[in-house]
A and B are shown apart, each in its own frame.
Chain A
């Protein structure tokens, strides 16, 4: 076990929040088409409030601190926040679009000892990237920022969110990352907007494109191993927890709201009204999240993928039940292995009975002699 894995296990055993993702603002200078945030300022925490939260997080045992947004540099006090965080000895990672980073900002991030900067790039082509960010010239400025950060010796991670509109540019982004000498990560996850609007889910890449990703050796390493059918789950799998959300990690919004994860919008407390540790230890919602075990999942516990699926309880929550399936992850498991999930099988069974009812309503002279109507599929074929 690596030291980091040991540290995670220790934090889990002790119930410590090892990692916190803090969004310092939702304001942004870009308007990305897939963004789930509302960019208005509804009363962000002040500098003093954030300093107080940081001190509480340090006392609670938080080691990894991700500062994100919105665009972090929309806050004029951003470097004060980073400086305070580093004085408190957090391992600080910053997520930014880089548009406002010049030589001076890059040098300051280096001076403050930020461990990593993650920057979103959607395409190597300005016309594609800028169409997604809706900010003309943004790719040029983002690439310039990456060069400034690299020249300071900072570790940069280029994050490539994949959607239908930029999927074909993925190889170009990988090549760009290589040319810039930075790490590349891809993310095909698009989540509903904070207000519940699911229209942006239509931007997701289709399953066939996911399959292509999962079978790309450059991205996944040993394809045969990565795409192997899932082994039968053991007892340890059934007793397992889904992820670190609420166990060793949580998310804090610019307004002080605490959630199990940035992708799990279950309000669990607010640091403006309660101490962070009181929320972490006593929140009914976090306790509920912590109680989830694979064996208790109504559909997923019977699924072949239960031990290997990346099922996100936050995405499942957004679909209506934190113990239910996350259909985006069902699709990933299927496209990776070719084996449908229990949820997909269940849905296809109910879908196959659906058309039967529809056809009944369309045909004026269905038999009334007690015989069953013809199966839906046959009806379609003969129509």
Chain B
């Protein structure tokens, strides 16, 4: 499987509220709440760490899920958020965005 690199777009608003990450696209105002697992992927989306490594280190390790199931879930999550421009996806490492969003 080709490697994926994911980065948080600069065109979003986000905040961790009560253990869930709230994310809104400033481009189309679509709004998502991310559960704990999705939030972990989100936090790790630095554009430099391969998705497979995020899944292995942040999901399988911390949430005790098997690798294949975690990867399928992660791919679906990445696909959906990238359709709204919330996550940027590439087959090579992504440069930091100009805004360098801080995730809080």
Question: Which of B11-19, B52-60, B65-73, B87-95 lies at the interface?
Answer: B11-19
Complex Cα distance A4/B29, Å? 11
Q: Which of B18, B33, B99, B103 contacts A113 (CB 8 A)?
A: B99
Determine the residue in chain B with the shortest Cβ distance to A16: B17
Given contacts A6-B33, A7-B33, A86-B99, contact A91 B17 (CB under 8 A): no
Q: Report yes or no: A92 in contact with B13, Cβ–Cβ below 8 A.
A: yes
* B26 surroundings in chain A (CB, below 8 A): 91-92, 113-115
Q: Report yes or no: B18 in contact with A88, Cβ–Cβ below 8 A.
A: no
Determine the residue in chain A with the shortest Cβ distance to B15: A63
Q: Report yes or no: A62 in contact with B15, Cβ–Cβ below 8 A.
A: yes
The size bracket of the interface on A is 20 to 34
* A7 surroundings in chain B (CB, below 8 A): 17, 22, 31, 33
* B24 surroundings in chain A (CB, below 8 A): 63, 91, 115
Encode A151-174 as 1/0 by CB contact (under 8 A) with B.
000010000000000000000000
Q: Does A89 contact B (CB under 8 A)?
A: yes
Q: Does B83 contact A (CB under 8 A)?
A: no
Q: Which of A13, A87, A115 contacts B29 (CB 8 A)?
A: A115
* A18 surroundings in chain B (CB, below 8 A): 17
* A112 surroundings in chain B (CB, below 8 A): 99
Q: Report yes or no: B102 in contact with A89, Cβ–Cβ below 8 A.
A: yes
Complex Cα distance A204/B14, Å? 39
Interface size on B, residues (CB 8 A): 24
Q: Does A59 contact B (CB under 8 A)?
A: yes
**Considering residues B22, B31, B33, B100, which has the most beta carbons from chain A within 10 angstroms of its beta carbon?**
B22
* A89 surroundings in chain B (CB, below 8 A): 12-15, 101-104
* B28 CB, nearest partner CB in chain A, Å: 9
Complex Cα distance A10/B22, Å? 11
Determine the residue in chain B with the shortest Cβ distance to A11: B17
Complex Cα distance A88/B104, Å? 8
Q: Report yes or no: B15 in contact with A87, Cβ–Cβ below 8 A.
A: no
* B93 CB, nearest partner CB in chain A, Å: 21
Q: Report yes or no: A14 in contact with B33, Cβ–Cβ below 8 A.
A: no
Determine the residue in chain B with the shortest Cβ distance to A18: B17
Encode A51-63 as 1/0 by CB contact (under 8 A) with B.
0000000110111
| 21 A-B interface contacts by CB (under 8 A) | A7-B22, A10-B18, A13-B18, A14-B17, A58-B15, A58-B104, A61-B15, A63-B24, A86-B10, A86-B99, A87-B99, A88-B102, A89-B14, A89-B15, A89-B102, A92-B13, A113-B11, A113-B13, A113-B27, A115-B13, A115-B24
Identify the B interface with A (CB < 8 A).
Answer: 10-18, 20, 22, 24, 26-27, 29, 31-33, 99-104
Identify the A interface with B (CB < 8 A).
Answer: 3-4, 6-7, 10-11, 13-14, 16, 18, 58-59, 61-63, 83, 86-92, 112-115, 155
